[in-house]
Amino acid sequence: MGRTPAARGRRRRRKAVVAHHKRLVCGPNFEAHTREAMQPPL
């Protein structure tokens, strides 16, 4: 469960992220969530 820092956010909560995006596709948290998922805390 740890090959690359990029795969970490991509394969961490993919289903949860998709569900979250569907819940607030047009929201202020959308950009924040996407940025956090793209650059997770190392």
Q: What is the pLDDT of residue 38?
A: 56
Of the candidates 16, 3, 1, the residue with the CA atom closest to the CA atom of residue 37? 16
pLDDT tens-digit series, residues 4-21: 656 555 555 555 666 555
Rounded CA separation 5/9 (Å): 7
pTM, full prediction = 0.16
Q: What is the pLDDT of residue 31?
A: 59
- pLDDT score for 15: 59
CA 20 – CA 6 distance, rounded (Å): 20
Contact 17, 37 (CB under 8 A): yes
Domain parsing of the chain, residue ranges: 5-38
Q: Are 37 and 7 in contact (CB under 8 A)?
A: no
Query: For residue 20, what pLDDT is reported?
Result: 53
pLDDT digits (tens, 9 = 90+) for 17-38: 665 555 555 555 555 655 655 5
Give me the residue label for tokens 């992220």. Answer: 17
